[in-house]
Amino acid sequence: MNDAPIGIFDSGVGGLTVARAISAQLPRESMLYIGDTAHSPYGPKPIADVRRYALEVLDTLVAEGVKMLVIACNTASSAMLRDARERYDVPVVEVIGPAVRTAMSTTRNGRIGVIGTEGTIGSRAYQDMLEVNERLEVFARACPRFVEFVEAGVTDSAEVLAVAEEYLAPLRHADVDTLVLGCTHYPFLEGAISYVMGPEVSLVSSDTETAKDVYRQLVSRDLLAGRDAAPRHVYEATGDSADDFLRLAHRLMGREVTDVRLVQTGAIHVLKGFE
């Protein structure tokens, strides 16, 4: 069981930032990543649909025999985290809690901005967790076009910068000193976001903090891969074309992702390398 893969799930390519952080901190661990590109983006969809899509993907990962689930999608985490933790026997790690804890310890003036998809912001998952601390003021803003840009492989255009200026202006005027990137796609746009917000604003991304949570869970449950483990990283997508996912992954992350397989969620199948 210790050499079984960690299962990582996102609506598309954004969760690759989390996968990369986990790999950096836990280089002996195998990973199985599924991007639900057939239903991406999740942000504008009804919460009931997001919950159904997400649980189908997680069911598939569990059927593959993963030892842990990582929900590398803020919209899915806000829609079905409790369901996932009650549904599966393996540990479940998500991206919202780690980012919240980091933002709380980072802010100096108590004014925190949160950006995310319409689904994440509408769920108030971040706002409710942060506002438990009465000294904090939270300013939330949905940025739906950010995911569209990343999924199209556009991260550094004049249009991206113009949209960032429009979305982030209210947060700049609110004098936030910490900004939570409440979507795993957003680190790919960190250059534009940081430029607009200015150097005095700290950006909090969930990828590294989530990887730390994964490490803690594996250690506490004695699930770390053995010293002689031969790690394998497998990437799957649910859309019509694995080539589209692969091209976009190469555009965003270089050649880290070498192969992508198409998968039908809800169907039990066995991957080569994880028999």
CB 138 within 8 A of CB 130: yes
Helix, strand, coil percentages in the chain from 3-state DSSP, rounded to 5: 45, 15, 35
CB 136 within 8 A of CB 112: yes
The active-site residue out of 18, 73, 129, 181 is: 73
- 183 classed as catalytic: yes
Instruction: Give bridge partners of residue 115 from the DSSP assignment.
Output: 141, 181
The active-site residue out of 183, 189, 248, 263 is: 183
Whether a cis peptide bond, with omega within 30° of 0, leads into 41 is: yes
CA distance 243 to 1: 32
Measure the CA angle with vertex 85, ends 84 and 90; round to 5°. 100
Query: Reading across the β-sheet that carries 260-262, which strands appear in turn?
Result: 92-94, 68-71, 6-10, 31-35, 233-237, 260-262
Report the catalytic residues: 73, 183
